Amino acid sequence: MLIKRSPNGIELPFSSEITPRAVYEGRRDFIRQLAVGAIGSAALMEMAQREAFAQGVRPKLAGKLNPAYSALDKPTPYKDATSYNNFYEFGTDKSEPAMYAGSLKTHPWTVGIEGEVKKPMTLDLDSLLKLAPLEERVYRLRCVEGWSMVIPWVGYSFSEIMKKVEPTSNAKYVEFISLADKKQMPGVGSRVLDWPYTEGLRIDEAAHPLALLTLGMYGEVLPNQNGAPVRMVLPWKYGFKSAKSIVKIRFVREQPRTSWNLSAPNEYGFYSNVNPEVDHPRWSQASERRIGEDGFLARKRKTLMFNGYADVAPLYAGMDLKKFY
């Protein structure tokens, strides 16, 4: 384990690797100077400062390390995890979310929880933060594209939400809907996917303790490009199953129609569990490249069934995972 533990979370040995934030701050400084110098408007300056706060200095968000759910892999450098992202609402290139997600306003933010539940509710961020004790979990993240990272997330099991809203016996699936606001998200104008981005889980998958409702990473609140202010993290599934910037959670009777499955059903199934034996039509899923670690001189590393999270295997007992990919 390369991260130091402390009573309220971890202390990160990465301070030298956080340069992109300096770049960010530099850019925000520039905007601020522009606002002050060229225009001199107090309102603009205030806006620029608020922006600087939003992206430059990220508030701390500590969680108690949960060793049972923490991988021993070396965490991916913060810089890589925050500058190499798939978040199509901000563009299809992996560098674009870090460039453009600054326009996302994460305050105020509410998540509506509705559908087949006894107690539908709308939760703001404060309520979400207080809903259950925050934990830190170091999860492997396997992208369907064949690369992987290791990220210390901060959040709690999604089952805590379920306890609060009390799904009825009709609730067979959970649907997660992301924000789709063209004004804040330049990529939403594109026709790559049907917006809003929609993901889903079977109810027993959602109830599995590994399914993490996530509010932070690396001991800080989520950066916008990583799905701020609230997202799911499902480490045994390909990354795209973990919806970002969630505004609505619906408990439903039927299997939800999920964005990537609608877009290319032969490539992205509803389950999309990490499975080295089921190829993507255009590439093998048997191996992966760990970002920041595996380079030119290494063969790709083997991908593990369920990304190494064998705990979830009973959820799929008796299912043909080649058919339900």
Partner 1 sequence: MAVQLTARQLGWLKGALFVLALLPLARMVVLTVTGQLVEPLEFITRGTGDWTLYLLTVTLAITPLRRLTGWNWLVKLRRMAGLYVFFYGLLHFLTFLWFDHFFDVQEMWKDVLKRPFITVGFIAFVLLIPLAVTSTNGMMRRMGGKAWQRLHQLIYLIAPLAVLHFWWMKAGKHLLGQPILFAGIFGGLLLFRLRGKFAKAAKLA
CB 129 within 8 A of CB 215: yes
88 or 316, CB closer to partner 1? 88
* Contact call for residue 83 and partner 1 (CB under 8 A): yes
Q: Which of 118, 183, 282, 302 binds partner 1 (CB under 8 A)?
A: 282
Shortest separation between residue 81's beta carbon and partner 1, angstroms:
9
* Contact call for residue 80 and partner 1 (CB under 8 A): yes
Of 140-159, binders to partner 1 (CB under 8 A) are 147
* Contact call for residue 27 and partner 1 (CB under 8 A): no
Shortest separation between residue 262's beta carbon and partner 1, angstroms:
11
* Contact call for residue 183 and partner 1 (CB under 8 A): no
34 secondary structure, DSSP code: I
Shortest separation between residue 325's beta carbon and partner 1, angstroms:
14
* Contact call for residue 59 and partner 1 (CB under 8 A): no
Shortest separation between residue 16's beta carbon and partner 1, angstroms:
13
Strand 231-233 versus strand 212-217 pairing type: antiparallel
Residue 317 has phi, psi (to 5 degrees) of -60, 130
What is the number of residues in the chain? 325
CB 137 within 8 A of CB 73: no
Q: Which two tokens stand for residue 314?
A: 């009973």
Q: Which residue has the tokens 């087949």?
A: 116
CB 85 within 8 A of CB 24: no
Strand 147-157 versus strand 287-290 pairing type: parallel
Residue 97 has phi, psi (to 5 degrees) of -55, -45
Residue 245 has phi, psi (to 5 degrees) of 40, 60
* Contact call for residue 189 and partner 1 (CB under 8 A): no
Q: Which of 281, 317, 318, 320 binds partner 1 (CB under 8 A)?
A: 281
List interacting residues with partner 1 (CB under 8 A): 79-80, 83-84, 92, 94, 147, 191-192, 263-264, 267, 279, 281-284, 289, 291-292, 295-296, 298-300
